[in-house]
Structures are given as structure tokens and as C-alpha cells.
């Protein structure tokens, strides 16, 4: 209303209020990259992460969905999200928020389920948690092994599993374990130390400060060097007359490990087998292009028939002349040659 002292005027203004509602939202930044241990229940309070600018937070309806039914559930009384998976893997959790006006929003985050967290090896090519220090790692010696934790994770109750295998023979002949990171001896079972072709395998299990099981994903294989750096320490034998007999009758003895003996036997078998195969090849037993040599078929010796003295020998050429001669008119009508041979003489007698 306006008034200038003498006159007044009045105007009505109408305001329309439109109900604008925003859907509730959830801050899932602290849930991204969440890692859980398989078989263990994890409970996370998510009510502080949910907000609604229009309505009270306690009126928001929360719905949780996962690919495995029942793996994630929301407790409306306590406002806690409970999650548990028995198998390792990556799982998606979808949380849907619905307000009293029917507006809704969805948030999805990923949970990684593990049996254990990995430990990595520190090598010349890659930085890792555990570094290996070796002493006496050479042929004929049992090495001393020490593991150093260079990672940021504090490890408790570490246990090292070691094996000694041979790449030439293809077997693992020694194994053991040690509680702790060392130092400890990896003793070969034959008592002769490491042999040519041996390699040391190491794997570690432990528990970190958060209660997680820690384990090396892959074992570390370390090949025994076949050369000695100190060449001056190697004395080459010098052949001398009479020295061979002294060495055979002397008190000194040569230490040959079981693995070296097996290797020598394998080499001898290869040479012997190769020589045998070559002899068979040149002798014709093998290498005939798949065509075996023809063999004379077996036949039992037939007894030779000796002519008996009382039995006359028949001469078939002369026997033909014994037959009666044919008449000039030829065979009688209806006769055959066989009939003539047997009954021809009687026919001739009747005709005479």
C-alpha cells in the first residue's frame, strides 16, 4: 500500500512456493579401496556418511545390494554395515538411499577380499620388502641365509621355508624351515654341501601389526654360481712321473657328493647308449628306413621220399604207348578217351 498524504493505493502480490526436494547423498571416499580378510566379519558405521539437506537423516531408507546375497547387510538399529565374504576376490557393494519423498540416489564402492597380503622380494631389478644375504653360497658348502626386512610393514612371527633343488636331475633333495628371519644354515641332505646345478628356494610367511597374514606370492630361486671368484685359490694338478702311484696310495681322499656322482653316471650312460645306438645303426639292425630285413619263412624239413626197390618206377611217356591203338575210324561212337584206355582192348577183341 502506498500513501502520499492525500491519496492511497494498494496492490496484492502473490508468492508461489514450489516444493523442491534433493535426494540424500553418501560420502563413500573412505570406503574406496577397502580390503577385508576372507572369512572375517567387518562392521562399518555409515550413518555419519549419509546426509539429506531437506529431511532428517533418521528418515532415510538404506538398501544394500551385492552379487552374493547376504554378504553385505545394513543394521537399521545400530546404523552399521556388516560385510563378510568367504572366498578371496573383488566384490562390488551398491548402497541406495531413499528419502520420505521418494527421491533416491545410489553409491557403489569396491571391496577386495584377501586370504593374506603379499610380501615382495628385494632384488637387483626390483625394490621389495625382503632382501636376502648369503654367506658360503658356493659348491661344496652349506650356505648361511639371512633375510632383512626393508619394507614399511612390521612383521611378527616370521617363518622361512627353504629347499635345495637340482636343475640338472630335476629333483629337490633337501628342505627345511626356520622360525625367524635368520641367520640359519641350509644344509644339504647328502652332507657334501651344494652341487653343480643346485639352486636355493625361499618363501616366507608372517603376521603384520594389523593382524594380517603376510606371505610371499612366489618363491625366490637363487642359482648356485659355478665359478669361484678367487682364481688364485685353485691349484691345477701337474702330472709327474711316479706321482700318480703316490696319489693312489696316499692318505688324501677326494670328496664327491651324491649329486656329482649321479651327474657322472648320467654322462656315462649317455656315451654308452650313444655308442650302442651307432653300432646298431652301422650294423644294419636299425636305421633301415623302417623296412625290416626279409626273413626266410619257417618250414619244417620234409622227409625225402626214397623209391622202394620192389615198387617199379612209372614212366608216363611209355605208359601212353600201352594204350590200345585207336582204329582208323577213330573212337567208337559215344566213347571217351578215358573209356578207351580201360576198355579199348576188350572192344578190339570183340571186333576180331
Task: Tell me how far the alpha carbon of residue 77 is from its chain's centroid.
Answer: 51
Report the C-alpha gap between 145 and 224 in whole angstroms.
13
> Which pLDDT value is given to residue 234?
36
pLDDT band at 176 (very low <50, low <70, confident <90, very high): very high
Alpha carbon distance 98, 333 (integer Å): 130
Q: What percent of the chain has pLDDT over 70?
A: 74
Identify the residue whose cell numbers are 586370504: 115
If you write DSSP's letter for every residue of 237-298 in order, what string do you get? P---TTHHHHHHHSS------HHHHHHHHHHHHHHHHHHHHHHHHHHTSS-STT-PPP-PPP
Q: Return the pLDDT at 299.
A: 44
Contact 226, 260 (CB under 8 A): no
What's the pLDDT score for residue 277? 56
How would residue 6 be classed by pLDDT, with cut points 50, 70 and 90?
confident
Structural contact between residues 83 and 68, judged by C-beta atoms closer than 8 angstroms: no
Parse the chain into domains and list their residue ranges: 25-115, 118-223
Given a cut of 80, is residue 2 above it in pLDDT?
no
Tell me how many degrees the CA angle 223-226-229 measures, rounded to the nearest 5. Answer: 110
pLDDT at 281 (0 to 100): 54
The confidence score (pLDDT) of residue 228 equals: 52
Task: Say what the pLDDT of residue 303 is.
Answer: 47
pLDDT above 60 for 254:
no
**Average pLDDT over every residue of 218-228:** 85
The model's confidence at residue 280, banded by pLDDT at 50, 70 and 90, is: low
CB 213 within 8 A of CB 116: yes
Mean pLDDT for the stretch of residues 43-49:
91
Question: Residues 298-341: pLDDT tens digits?
Answer: 444 444 445 444 544 545 454 455 567 888 888 888 888 888 88
Q: How far is CA 180 from the centre of its chain?
A: 30
CATH of 118-223, one of 1.10.287, 2.60.40, 3.30.310, 2.20.28: 2.60.40
Q: What is 78-137 written as a DSSP string?
A: TTEEEE--SS-EEEEEEEEEE-TTS-EEEEEEEEEEESSEEE-EE-SSS--SEEEEEES-
Q: How far is CA 311 from CA 32, 231, 288, 307, 314, in A?
A: 119, 101, 54, 7, 9
Q: Give every CB contact of residue 167 below 8 A, 6+ residues apart in sequence.
A: 197, 198, 199, 223
Per-residue pLDDT of 237-250, as tens digits, reads 444 444 444 444 44
Q: What is the DSSP letter of 23?
A: -
Whether residue 151 contacts residue 137, with contact meaning beta carbons closer than 8 Å, is answered with no
Number of CB atoms found within 10 A of residue 304's CB: 5
Considering only residues 233 and 30, tell me which one the structure prediction assigns the higher pLDDT: 30
Task: Say how many C-beta atoms besides its own lie within 10 A of residue 105's C-beta.
Answer: 15
**What does the pLDDT read at residue 271?**
66
Of the two residues 346 and 118, the one the predictor is more confident about is 118
The pLDDT assigned to 74 comes to: 93
Torsion over CA: 313, 317, 322, 323 (sign):
positive
C-alpha separations of 198 from 123, 140, 264 in Å: 20, 11, 15
Q: Do domains 25-115 and 118-223 have the same CATH topology?
A: yes
Rounded to whole angstroms, the Cα distance separating 84 from 78 reads 17
Asked: is 25-115 a CATH 3.40.640.10 domain? The reply is: no
pLDDT digits (tens, 9 = 90+) for 62-110: 999 998 989 999 998 899 999 999 988 999 999 999 988 888 999 999 9
- Three-state secondary-structure class, residue 30: helix
CA 111 to chain centre: 30
> Which residue in 119, 121, 149, 118 sits closest to 222, CA to CA?
121
- Among 13-17, 174-178, 198-202, name the one with the lowest average pLDDT: 13-17
Question: What is the rounded CA–CA span in Å between residue 246 and residue 239?
Answer: 12
Name the average pLDDT for the chain.
Answer: 78
Distance CA 25, CA 49 (A): 8
129-133, 176-180, 293-297: the lowest-pLDDT one: 293-297
Lowest model confidence (mean pLDDT) among 67-71, 119-123, 270-274: 270-274
Q: Give the pLDDT of residue 134.
A: 94
Amino acid at each position: 500500500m502506498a500513501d502520499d498524504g492525500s491519496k492511497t493505493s494498494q496492490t496484492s502480490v502473490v508468492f508461489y512456493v514450489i516444493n523442491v526436494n534433493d535426494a540424500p547423498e553418501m560420502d563413500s571416499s573412505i570406503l574406496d579401496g577397502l580390503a577385508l580378510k576372507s572369512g572375517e566379519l567387518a562392521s562399518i558405521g555409515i550413518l555419519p556418511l549419509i546426509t539429506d539437506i531437506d529431511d532428517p537423516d533418521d528418515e532415510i531408507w538404506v538398501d544394500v545390494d551385492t552379487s552374493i546375497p547376504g554378504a553385505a547387510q545394513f543394521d537399521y538399529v545400530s546404523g552399521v554395515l556388516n560385510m563378510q565374504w568367504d572366498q578371496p576376490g573383488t566384490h562390488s557393494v551398491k548402497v541406495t538411499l531413499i528419502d520420505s519423498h521418494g527421491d533416491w540416489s545410489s553409491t557403489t564402492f569396491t571391496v577386495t577380499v584377501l586370504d593374506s597380503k603379499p610380501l615382495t622380494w628385494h632384488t637387483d631389478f626390483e625394490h621389495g620388502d625382503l632382501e636376502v644375504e648369503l654367506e658360503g653360497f658356493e659348491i661344496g658348502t652349506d650356505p648361511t641365509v639371512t633375510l632383512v626386512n626393508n619394507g614399511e610393514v612390521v612383521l611378527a612371527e616370521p617363518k622361512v621355508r627353504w629347499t635345495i633343488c637340482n636343475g640338472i636331475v630335476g629333483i629337490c633333495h633337501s628342505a627345511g624351515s626356520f622360525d625367524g628371519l635368520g641367520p640359519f644354515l641350509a644344509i644339504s641332505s647328502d652332507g657334501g654341501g651344494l652341487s653343480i646345478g643346485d639352486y636355493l628356494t625361499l618363501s616366507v610367511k608372517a603376521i603384520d601389526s594389523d593382524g594380517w597374514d603376510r606371505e610371499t606370492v612366489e618363491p625366490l630361486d637363487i642359482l648356485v654360481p659355478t665359478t669361484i671368484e678367487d682364481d688364485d685359490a685353485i691349484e691345477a694338478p701337474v702330472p709327474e712321473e711316479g706321482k700318480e702311484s703316490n696319489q693312489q696310495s696316499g692318505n688324501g681322499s677326494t670328496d664327491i657328493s651324491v649329486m656329482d656322482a649321479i651327474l657322472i653316471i648320467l654322462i656315462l650312460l649317455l656315451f654308452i647308449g650313444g655308442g650302442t645306438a651307432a653300432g646298431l645303426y652301422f650294423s644294419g639292425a636299425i636305421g633301415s628306413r623302417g623296412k625290416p630285413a626279409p626273413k626266410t619263412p619257417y618250414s619244417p624239413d620234409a622227409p625225402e621220399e626214397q623209391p622202394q626197390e620192389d615198387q617199379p618206377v612209372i614212366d608216363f611217356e611209355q605208359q601212353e604207348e600201352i594204350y590200345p591203338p585207336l582204329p582208323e575210324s577213330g573212337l567208337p561212337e559215344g566213347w571217351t578217351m578215358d573209356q578207351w584206355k580201360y576198355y579199348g582192348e576188350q572192344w578190339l577183341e570183340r571186333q576180331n
